[in-house]
Amino acid sequence: MRIISFNANGIRAAGRKGFFVWLARQRADLVCIQETKAQEYQLREPLYYPRPFHCFYHDAEKKGYSGVAIYSRQQPDRVIMGLDWPEFDREGRYIEVQLGRLSVVSLYLPSGSSSELRQQVKFEVMDRLMPHFRSLRRRRREYVLCGDWNIAHKKIDIRNWRGNQKNSGFLPEERAWMDRLFGSAGFVDAFRVVDPRPEQYTWWSNRGQAWARNVGWRIDYQVVTPGLRERVRAARIYKDRRFSDHAPLILDYDWP
């Protein structure tokens, strides 16, 4: 089972840069997209409903903002749009498909980099998500939580860790929250199961020469329940072409 997670930074822009041409060759079973930045009525072209996938979009109310999607090769048993949190769901940040006893989620956590107000929103979302994640562990299902979490967990996940300790995305409170996610909450960072190397980044600022110099952050994850830990087979970050300021994160699992 191959799952791709990708922050498109505008799905129409990523499409113009060749994302869907690339995707057609990837043999993916599920594709989780964040930051579609489009309303579904604006995506009428067949390009945005690639075969052989069943395609589902959850848009933000605000045009040109946020939005998540999932493409599933198999018809899901159920599709869940949002978490019944009006202020969160209005921003189009959570979509889940259920396939047998497996759930796959496309999740887009808020960024706090634009203002102190948005950082507080981010903290509030984190506070509400943790009990939700813990509740998932009590269900008789396996979960793959894909997406842009907007947090670099450890020093090896960010190039300039010393200079970013007071910046959103690498704040001590954010990293401690990730510690709990991968600690007491019991979830697993699937990428790190098979790739412990430093400097494996998924996002690069458009400022300066960040991409050319590989001054990046690893903020895109596939977070899985413990039952999937031993089923992770391979992981890679696709960097041969750029479709966005993020790179696609590709994980292979031993799952029927």
Tokens of 88: 């969160």
Is 148 designated active site? yes
CA–CA gap between residue 43 and residue 35 (Å, rounded): 14
> Residue 75 carries which DSSP code?
P
68-72 and 30-34 beta bridge pairing: antiparallel
> Residue 3 carries which DSSP code?
E
Residue 163: other Cβ atoms inside 10 A: 10
CA–CA gap between residue 43 and residue 11 (Å, rounded): 9
Residue with tokens 């007071």: 166
CA–CA gap between residue 62 and residue 50 (Å, rounded): 25
Residue with tokens 């069943």: 54
Residue with tokens 């993916």: 28
> Active site residue: 29, 77, 89, 148, which one?
148
Q: Which secondary-structure segment (H or E) carries 194? A: helix 190-194
CA–CA gap between residue 224 and residue 79 (Å, rounded): 19
Catalytic residues, which ones? 148
